[in-house]
Amino acid sequence: MKPTIFASGAAFLILLLGCNSNKGEQPLENPYTIESEMAKDPVKRGEYLVSSNGCHDCHTPKKFTDKGMELDLTRALSGHPAGEVLAPYDLKTAQSYILFTMGLTSATGPWGTSFSANLTPDATGLGGWTEDQFLVAIKQGLYKGIEGSRPLLPPMPWQQIRNFTDEDLKAIFAYLQSLPPVKNVVPDPIPPAG
Buried b (16+ CB within 10 A) or exposed e, 144-157: ebeeeeeebbeebe
Q: How confident is the model at residue 3 (pLDDT cuts 50, 70, 90)?
A: low
pLDDT tops 80 at residue 65 = yes
pLDDT at 167: 95
Q: 78-135: per-residue pLDDT in tens?
A: 999 999 999 887 766 667 788 899 999 999 988 999 999 999 999 999 999 999 999 9
Q: Contact, 112 vs 192, CB < 8 A?
A: yes
Q: Tell the burial category of 72 from Cβ atoms under 10 Å away from its Cβ (0-12, 13-18, 19+).
A: middle
The model's pTM is 0.78
* pLDDT score of 32 more than 90: no
Question: What pLDDT digit, counting tens, does each position of 135-176 carry?
Answer: 999 999 999 999 999 999 999 999 999 999 999 999 999 999
Position 93 scores a pLDDT of: 67
